Amino acid sequence: MAKYIVKRVFYLLLTLFIIASATFFLMKLMPGTPFNNPKIPAEQLAALRKANGLDKPVIVQYGKYLLGVLHGDFGTSYQFAGQSVSHLIASRVAPSLQIGAQAMVVGTLLGILLGAIAAIRANSWVDSVATIFAILGRSIPNFVFAALMQYWLAYKWHIFPIALWDGFSSSILPTLALAMAPLAQTARFMRTEMVDVLNSDYIELARSKGESEWQVVAKHALRNSMIPIVTIIGPMAVDLMVGSLVVENIFAIPGIGEQFVRSILTNDYPTIMGLTMMYSVMLVVVLLIVDILYGFIDPRIRLAGGSK
Amino acid sequence: MSKILEVNNLEIDFHTYAGEVHAIRNVSFDLEKGETLAIVGESGSGKSVTLRTIMGLLAKNGEVVNGEVLFNGEDILKKSNKELNDMRGNDISMIFQDPMTSLDPTMPIGKQVAEVLRIHNSVSKKSAMEEAARVLELVGIKDARNRLKDYPHQFSGGQRQRIVIAIAIINNPQILIADEPTTALDVTIQAQIIDLLKELQTKIDTSIIFITHDLGVVAGIADRVAVMYAGKIVEFGTVDEIFYNAQHPYTWGLLESMPTLETNTKRLHAIPGTPPSLLDPPVGDAFAPRNAYAMQIDTEQEPPFFQVSPTHKAATWLLHPDAPKVELPPEIARRREIWKKMNPETKKPQTTEKGAD
């Protein structure tokens, strides 16, 4: 197991290096410069470029950039003069991470629950209701839920704050809006898998042992049904990162998503690269955790991975 | 000997989109204490459905229309879920067909064996594990104590079936139901598993109901045999009666299609045709369309059971006193000769009609 993880971490670092390099060169190919205000005089422009190291050959800039990344230094934002990118991200990442993580936990847990109930009561009205709910959750974009919840739960009934970032209660609505898609997806996967599992031979054997239906589900069916859920957690985490851009805007949350969009619009190279790296790190780490989690749930995978 | 299980006039329908499937049509049999009863028949003849009903594990779309299943005099069909759970895995337990899929792939085998002990007895985790190791050794898992934490995929098919058997016998059940336990195993392992079951039967003093479509296996293990066709028992008798004095043409067909050392035909016999659809069971004898010996009455009226001996009965009009004498297939005639040698004093079978319920 340890050997397997070490190997995976090595690949993880390699992946990040490739992403860092690709982002850098793609950025260089982008049209325009960070300083494209036509009113800036040529002399001043040259001075600005020099100050930011943009007058040097690309390969030198690349080396400097990589060196910085290794030290956790992504340079200085062009947009907010003098603010380092690391500081910019650090100050804004907390709300995004919080609602992302909350949505992930709420979405997968409720999804597993809903899917399991639908499977246990397969082909009954409970199953139909769960199915309709899951299809709606998957096909309606999260900003629609966000707006509806703002209208009813905040504006009409005053249960939750309507927007802004002020304590845990203000994180509930964005979390719910963001959780809808993973919830629906998890529920569908869980239902399909669990219907199969409940018809499998080892469940029949568990029943023949004299276990109650509840024991059968809790001891044998849940764990076996969760194997494919682990697979979709990775892509779902990516969905949440992207999804949060819109939701953060609707609820006026000072998160990282909003910052990302603005930095692209203004050709703020260091910020774009810093944020891309941050998202990449999050993604590859999630994928690594998912693979390790796999081993814990399914012993067959644990051994296959360890003996490689 | 006393009867531990009695199945009386069992009728089971399945509700399907195509309509009502009459899967079990008036099945009755009994099981003596300590005996092994084999139920043979081709796929879809209702063997497994019958046994699942005894376990109280009938599929949700199945409905018992009529009949009773008496276990020690109590009707299993009238038991509550709680009572059924207390019975399953404790008084009656089951061995499944495919050992590759019948163990939970995500749970260590020690826990899977100990679990069934802990459900029915208040024992500590530790002593349950010790007992699990003891029973695993008993069924032939070597070094079981050190393998309790291993997962099913770390065992071979034969070993897995031994583990499934350990789960089935750990509570010393009164009835052990084996649903084609050797079908998925290769022949040498089959023999080992059969020997193991016979050995365990004497050790824990249990009755066995053994489902199979392999008559070779039946000869090796059974005391009595029930032959099922299209949801009915068509012939019932001791293992010798079924093998050497079979009366029903369907049983003849099964015996003819079994390779033996004595026969030297180039091709094995096959019963022509396919079993009838039980959505709309045929009038008369369900086997008639595939039966070379079928008579007019077979298509009109269902044959009742004719008693051949106190232990042997068969549902075929050929046993009716007015039925014409038929020439037996060579293989069956050969077997009759053996039967005559085994029972020199036997007169012509005394056939008496027994009401067909």
Report how far residue B14's alpha carbon sits from residue B60's, in angstroms, rounded to the nearest whole number.
9
Report how far residue B314's alpha carbon sits from residue B235's, in angstroms, rounded to the nearest whole number.
4
Measured between CB atoms, does B105 come within 8 Å of chain A? yes
Distance from CA of B213 to the nearest CA of A (A): 20
Measured between CB atoms, does A43 come within 8 Å of chain B? no
Question: Residue A213 — φ and ψ, nearest 5°?
Answer: -55, -35
> Among all residues of chain A, which has the CA nearest to that of B168?
A209
Which domain range does residue B164 map to? Answer: 3-222
Q: How confident is residue A195, by pLDDT bands cut at 50, 70 and 90?
A: very high
Q: Which residues of A219-235 are buried (b: 16+ CB within 10 A; e: fewer)?
A: bbbbbbbbbebbebbbe
Q: How confident is residue A243, by pLDDT bands cut at 50, 70 and 90?
A: low
Measured between CB atoms, does A205 come within 8 Å of chain B? yes
Q: Are B103 and B184 found together in one domain?
A: yes
Under an 8 A CB cutoff, do B106 and A297 touch? yes
- Read off the DSSP letter of residue A151: I
Neighbour tally for B77: CB within 10 Å: 16
Q: Are B120 and B252 found together in one domain?
A: no
Q: Could you say which of A208, A213, A220 has the minimum Cβ distance to residue B89?
A: A208
Q: CATH number for the domain including B84? A: 3.40.50.300
- pTM for the whole thing? 0.80
Closest CA to B103 of A61, A3, A148, A224: A224
At position B331, the amino acid (one-letter code) is E
- Contact at 8 Å (CB) between A297 and A25? no
SS3 B290: helix
> What is the Rg, in whole angstroms, of the alpha carbon atoms belonging to chain A?
24
pLDDT of residue B345: 67
> Among all residues of chain A, which has the CA nearest to that of B111?
A219
ipTM: 0.84
Q: Are B137 and B195 found together in one domain?
A: yes
The residue from B200, B222, B244 where one domain ends is: B222
Query: What six digits make up the tokens of B173?
Result: 């059940």
Measured between CB atoms, does A166 come within 8 Å of chain B? no
Measured between CB atoms, does A223 come within 8 Å of chain B? yes
SS3 A289: helix
Residue A255 scores a pLDDT above 90: no
pLDDT above 70 as % of chain A: 92
pLDDT above 70 as % of chain B: 95
> Among all residues of chain B, which has the CA nearest to that of A224?
B106
Mutation site for B-interface testing, chosen from A208, A222, A226 by largest number of B Cβ within 10 Å: A208
Contacts of B89 in chain A (CB under 8 A): 208-211
Going by C-beta distance under 8 Å and a sequence separation of 6 or more, which residues neighbour residue B266?
none
Query: What six digits make up the tokens of B208?
Result: 């066995």
At position A214, the amino acid (one-letter code) is W
- Mean model confidence pLDDT for chain A: 81
Closest CA to B224 of B307, B303, B313: B313
Q: Are B50 and B178 found together in one domain?
A: yes
Under an 8 A CB cutoff, do A202 and B85 touch? no
How many beta-carbon pairs below 8 A join chains A and B? 78
Report how far residue B203's alpha carbon sits from residue A291's, in angstroms, rounded to the nearest whole number.
47
Q: Which residue is associated with the tokens 């195509």?
A: B18
pLDDT of residue B6: 93
Under an 8 A CB cutoff, do B105 and A202 touch? yes
Q: Could you say which of B55, B90, B101 has the minimum Cβ distance to residue A202?
A: B101
Measured between CB atoms, does A262 come within 8 Å of chain B? no
Q: Are B240 and B198 found together in one domain?
A: no
**Who wins on pLDDT, B210 or A243?**
B210
Closest CA to B227 of B333, B314, B311, B302: B314
Q: Are B31 and B180 found together in one domain?
A: yes
Query: For A88-102, how does the pLDDT look when each residue is reduced to its tens digit (9 = 90+)?
Result: 777 777 788 888 888
Mutation site for A-interface testing, chosen from B15, B102, B179 by largest number of A Cβ within 10 Å: B102
Measured between CB atoms, does A225 come within 8 Å of chain B? no
For CA atoms B104, B110, B113, B115, the dihedral sign is negative
Measured between CB atoms, does A222 come within 8 Å of chain B? no
Closest CA to B276 of B227, B215, B231: B231
CA distances from B171 to B85, B92, B145, B205, B354 (A): 14, 9, 19, 12, 39
Under an 8 A CB cutoff, do A205 and B103 touch? yes
Q: Comparing A248-252, B36-40, B272-276, which segment has the lowest mean pLDDT? A: A248-252
Query: What six digits make up the tokens of A170?
Result: 């203000």
> What is the Rg, in whole angstroms, of the alpha carbon atoms belonging to chain B?
21
The residue from B190, B222, B254 where one domain ends is: B222
Report how far residue B147's alpha carbon sits from residue B11's, in angstroms, rounded to the nearest whole number.
44
Under an 8 A CB cutoff, do A209 and B98 touch? no
pLDDT of residue B356: 44
SS3 A294: helix
Going by C-beta distance under 8 Å and a sequence separation of 6 or more, which residues neighbour residue B88?
A207, A208, A209, A210, B55, B56, B57, B94
Q: Comparing A126-140, B107-121, B122-136, B149-163, which segment has the lowest mean pLDDT? A: A126-140
Q: Comparing A31-35, A148-152, A185-189, which segment has the lowest mean pLDDT? A: A31-35
Report how far residue B269's alpha carbon sits from residue B259's, in angstroms, rounded to the nearest whole number.
9
Query: For B69-109, how does the pLDDT look when each residue is reduced to its tens digit (9 = 90+)?
Result: 999 989 999 999 899 999 999 999 999 888 899 999 999 99
Report how far residue B322's alpha carbon sits from residue A226's, in angstroms, rounded to the nearest whole number.
66
Query: What six digits make up the tokens of A211?
Result: 């276990």
Measured between CB atoms, does A212 come within 8 Å of chain B? yes
Closest CA to B349 of B298, B293, B306: B306
Query: What six digits make up the tokens of B284?
Result: 């008369």
Measured between CB atoms, does A210 come within 8 Å of chain B? yes
Report how far residue A269's alpha carbon sits from residue A75's, in angstroms, rounded to the nearest whole number.
9
Contacts of B81 in chain A (CB under 8 A): 212-213
Query: What is the CATH topology of the domain spanning A100-265?
Result: MetI-like fold (1.10.3720)
Distance from CA of B353 to the nearest CA of A (A): 39
Q: Are B53 and B111 found together in one domain?
A: yes
Q: Parallel, antiparallel, or unpaired: how do β-strands B312-314 and B232-238 relate?
A: antiparallel
Neighbour tally for B18: CB within 10 Å: 10
> Among all residues of chain A, which has the CA nearest to that of B121?
A210
Q: Parallel, antiparallel, or unpaired: how do β-strands B352-354 and B312-314 relate?
A: unpaired
Query: For B199-225, how does the pLDDT look when each residue is reduced to its tens digit (9 = 90+)?
Result: 889 888 899 999 988 888 888 889 999
Report how far residue B271's alpha carbon sits from residue B252's, in angstroms, rounded to the nearest whole number.
9
Query: What six digits make up the tokens of A153?
Result: 């739960």
Q: Are B327 and B276 found together in one domain?
A: yes
* Number of structural domains found in chain B: 2
Neighbour tally for B149: CB within 10 Å: 12
Tell me what the mean pLDDT of segment A279-287 comes to: 83
Under an 8 A CB cutoff, do A223 and B106 touch? yes
Under an 8 A CB cutoff, do B57 and A205 touch? no
Q: How confident is residue B152, by pLDDT bands cut at 50, 70 and 90?
A: very high
Residue B44 scores a pLDDT above 70: yes
- Contact at 8 Å (CB) between B218 and B226? no
> Among all residues of chain A, which has the CA nearest to that of B120?
A210
Query: What six digits make up the tokens of B301?
Result: 């009226």
The residue from B194, B222, B250 where one domain ends is: B222
Going by C-beta distance under 8 Å and a sequence separation of 6 or more, which residues neighbour residue A115?
A130, A134, A186, A187, A188, A189, A190, A191, A193, A194, A225
User: Can you say whether residue A203 is alpha, beta or left, with left for phi > 0 and alpha for psi between -120 and 50 degrees?
Assistant: alpha
Q: Are B138 and B160 found together in one domain?
A: yes
Under an 8 A CB cutoff, do B57 and A208 touch? yes
- Contact at 8 Å (CB) between A284 and A20? no
Under an 8 A CB cutoff, do A224 and B106 touch? yes
Q: Are B97 and B158 found together in one domain?
A: yes
At position B229, the amino acid (one-letter code) is Y
Distance from CA of A251 to the nearest CA of B (A): 43
Q: Are B46 and B69 found together in one domain?
A: yes
Residue A266 scores a pLDDT above 80: no
Query: For A53-103, how does the pLDDT look when each residue is reduced to its tens digit (9 = 90+)?
Result: 777 788 888 888 888 888 877 777 776 667 788 887 777 777 888 888 888
Under an 8 A CB cutoff, do B94 and A205 touch? yes
Measured between CB atoms, does B153 come within 8 Å of chain A? yes
Q: How confident is residue A306, by pLDDT bands cut at 50, 70 and 90?
A: very low
Contacts of A200 in chain B (CB under 8 A): 101
Q: Are B233 and B101 found together in one domain?
A: no
Q: Which residue is associated with the tokens 């009716």?
A: B320
